[in-house]
Amino acid sequence: MTPLRQRFIEDMKLRGLAPRTQKNYIAHAFNFAKYFHRSPEQLDQEAVREYLMYLLDERKLSAEGVNQIVSSLKLLYLTTLEMPWSDADFPRAKRPYKLPVVLSQEEVALFFEHVPSLRYRAALMLCYGAGLRVSEAAALKVSDIDSKRMLIRVEQGKGQKDRYAMLSPRLLQALRTYWRAARPEEYLFPGWRTGRHVGTASLQQACRDAAMRSGLRKRVTVHSLRHAFATHLLENGTDVRIIQALLGHSQIETTARYAAVTPQAVRAVISPLDRMNPKRGNARPVRTHKQ
């Protein structure tokens, strides 16, 4: 291991980056150096700019993918190599704003009717009934379910933050039905390897299979269930800051976007067309003289 790589890893650990993020950042730095066949120490701002244009124009990477690479190179140069550059030397690609696809409560019910496995149904219900991310649901332990306080402890979720999620009576019933049948010990959803939990890919595949069997035309992912959780809470009048805490969002703006897809909020707005004077609205157009 080169001294630069070792220092880069140490800087990431000091900043509390997750192991998976560290692995990705190392790969991004390696690919950057490989593109120029030179060490990052020998490259400048123009090289960074050229590489980012290559990723966008030739590799056709998404804005999210490019921005992750930008973050890794920014940490490498500004922190590890201590270069006297600025944030402007690491331009970020603009991400297109897209509204999340939201399932209605009827569509969610139809979806769960087509999840035949108790194990996968319980895991996917956690994503809708408690708003968990797929990685959080997969990594839950039996001890994380607090039935006395009706809470779910999410340990080291995104951003390495602990939080509590809600445990509804119906979700608790589904988890108990699964637990009685499977009797898991440490992880609520153990994987095939001893001491490991189920993989997120397995839950995603189970979600795709159920969506296909249900005949829903909307694109359904595990994250769609989390979107539906937030939107349905908002529709029922839950305060957006409570939803923010339940979802584990660090910024209120991230949670507030669900208001844009809430049907009740849209329907509650009165169109200016409906406020027009009926007599004026039905008036005949004024004829003009022909030239």
Q: Across the chain, where does the E strand assignment appear? A: 145-146, 151-154, 163-166
- Per the annotation, the verdict on 133 as an active-site residue is yes
- What is the separation of C-alpha 244 from the centre of its chain, rounded to a whole number of angstroms? 13
- Per the annotation, the verdict on 279 as an active-site residue is no
Which residue, among 100, 94, 45, 30, has the nearest Cα to 67 in the 3D structure? 94
Structure tokens at 191: 């994987």
Which residue, among 265, 192, 276, 211, has the nearest Cα to 235 in the 3D structure? 265
Q: Which of 28, 119, 226, 232 does the annotation list as catalytic? A: 226
Which residue, among 132, 143, 130, 216, has the nearest Cα to 170 in the 3D structure? 130
- What is the separation of C-alpha 9 from the centre of its chain, rounded to a whole number of angstroms? 25
- Per the annotation, the verdict on 213 as an active-site residue is no
Judge whether 190 and 199 are in contact, CB under 8 Å.
no
- Per the annotation, the verdict on 258 as an active-site residue is yes
Judge whether 7 and 23 are in contact, CB under 8 Å.
no
Judge whether 255 and 246 are in contact, CB under 8 Å.
no
Q: Which of 74, 114, 208, 223 does the annotation list as catalytic? A: 223
- Per the annotation, the verdict on 37 as an active-site residue is no
User: How many other CB atoms are found less than 10 A from the CB of residue 21?
Assistant: 16
- Per the annotation, the verdict on 34 as an active-site residue is no
Q: Which of 119, 133, 163, 197 does the annotation list as catalytic? A: 133
Q: Which of 120, 128, 178, 258 does the annotation list as catalytic? A: 258
Q: Which of 158, 208, 213, 257 does the annotation list as catalytic? A: 158
Phi/psi of residue 117, each to 5°? -80, 130
Phi/psi of residue 181, each to 5°? -80, -40
Structure tokens at 138: 């997969």
So which residues are the catalytic ones? 133, 158, 223, 226, 249, 258
